Amino acid sequence: MVLLVIGLPLVSLVVALVAAAAPDSQVCDVDSTATCKITATPSQFQPALLNASKWIWTGENPIPGGSNIISTRPFRKNITAPCGKCSVCATIVVASDDAHTFYVNGVRIGTGAGFRQGQALFVALQPTWNLFAIAGQNLVANSPAGIMASILVHFSDGTSETFVTDESWKTLRAAPPENFQLPSTNDSNWPSAAVQGAYQNSVWGPPVLPPVLPLRGSNWIWTSDNVNGAAPVGSRAFRKTVNQCTKVAVCATVLIAADDRYTLYVNGATVGSGSSYTVADAYTIPNLHPTFNTFAINATNGGGPAGVIATILITYSDGSNETVVTDASWKAIQTIPQGFQPPLIDEFGWESAKIIGAFGVAPWGAGMVIPSA
C-alpha cells in the first residue's frame, strides 16, 4: 500500500513518520546525524546545581509534600541530545526522602539516601539518546516522599545542558515493574510525576551540594628529598599511567591541590594550574584515550613543606568508575625533564613518589575547601 499525503513533501513526510514512531529520538530537519568527534578540551569543573530542580513523587497523596505509604516507586526520563550534538558524559546530583537507586541506560550507577545532602554520580552516555531511571523509596509510614535530581550533560563540542526532575518525568503508582530501568521498556502510558516542592520551597528545604570528589583516601606526595616536613625549593615532576585494557575510558574528573603550585597535564595536554593548599581545584576531562591515560603534574615548592594531593575519577563506557589517588604508585623525579607529560616516555631514573601523609595530616589539616559537584 502506498501512502500519499497531499501537499506534504516526501522528506517532510518521512521525518514526520519517524518522529511519530520514536518521539524521543534525535530527529532533525533532514535526518542529520551527529559526527560525535570530540572537540571539547579539559576545563574547570562545572557543578550540577539543584536550584532549578523540583521534588517529585507519584501524586498518590494529592497534597504536595504530604504523607505517603511505605513504598518503592519508579521514575523515568528520556533525554535526547539537540540535533547535531553528541552526549559524552554526565554529572548527576540526586537527593531522596528516603532512599534511591539510580540507573542510566539500564545500568545501576549508584545508590544513596537522604534529603539533606545530595549524592554525586558520574556516568558515560550514549551519543544521542539516554534513559535515566530512579527507584525511589519511602521507608517511613505516613511521611513525605520525594526525589530531586540535576543532570548536567556534557556534549562533544564542549557545551553542556542541565536537565532536572520535574513533571516531565514518568512514574507509576505501583512498585517498579520488572526491567523498568531498561531503555526497551515502554513508558508511553505512564502518568507524569507530581511535583512535591521546589528547591527553595518544600517541606525538606534545599539539599546541600556534595563535594565533587573526596580527598579522604588520597595522600600528599613529593619526592624523596622531602625530609622531616621540609623540601628544597624547586619543581618536581609526577606521573601516573592508568592502563585498563578491559574497559573503554570516556572522561575523567580531577580534584587537586598543591603546596605551593602545580600544573596538571593529561596525555600531554595542559589541563590547568593552581597555587593553593587550602582550596582545591576541580577539572573535567572529556577526551580520554580509550585504554591508556597518563596524568602528569609539575609541582613547585617555594620553601618549607611541600606536597601535591589529588583524586581522579575515571568514567568508563560500561557505567563503571575507577578512583585513582595520589600514593606511592605514582612516579616522581627531582627535576622537570623536557617532554615528561605525554604517555609512553622512558621512566628510567624515576622513583616511587614519597607519601608525606594522608589527607588531613599536618601541616595542611582536613579543612581544605572542595568545590561542589
Q: Is 106 within 8 Å of 163 (Cβ atoms)?
A: no
Residue 326 to residue 350: CA distance in whole angstroms: 16
The one-character DSSP state at 227 is B
87 in a known ligand binding site? no
Grid coordinates of 322: 575507577
What residues are paired with 55 via a beta bridge?
197
**What count of Cα atoms within 13 Å lies in the side-chain half-sphere of residue 282?**
17
305 in a known ligand binding site? yes
166 in a known ligand binding site? no
260 in a known ligand binding site? yes
187 in a known ligand binding site? no
29 in a known ligand binding site? no
Q: Dihedral of CA 344/345/350/354: which sign?
A: negative
Residues 6+ apart with CB under 8 A from 189: none
Residue 175 to residue 185: CA distance in whole angstroms: 15
Grid coordinates of 71: 513504598
Residues 6+ apart with CB under 8 A from 141: 69, 70
226 in a known ligand binding site? no
286 in a known ligand binding site? no
97 in a known ligand binding site? yes
Grid coordinates of 6: 497531499
Q: With left for phi above 0 and alpha for psi between -120 and 50, is residue 91 left, alpha or beta? A: beta
Kind of pairing between the strands at 219-222 and 351-352: unpaired
Residues 6+ apart with CB under 8 A from 269: 41, 42, 341
219 in a known ligand binding site? no
Residue 144 to residue 149: CA distance in whole angstroms: 17
Which residue in 161, 143, 146 sits closest to 193, CA to CA?
A: 146
Helices then strands, counting H and E runs in the chain, come out as: 1, 22
Binding-site positions read: 97-98, 138, 143-144, 259-260, 301, 303, 305
Binding-site positions for Ca(2+) read: 97-98, 138, 143-144, 259-260, 301, 303, 305
Binding-site positions for N-acetyl-D-galactosamine read: 303
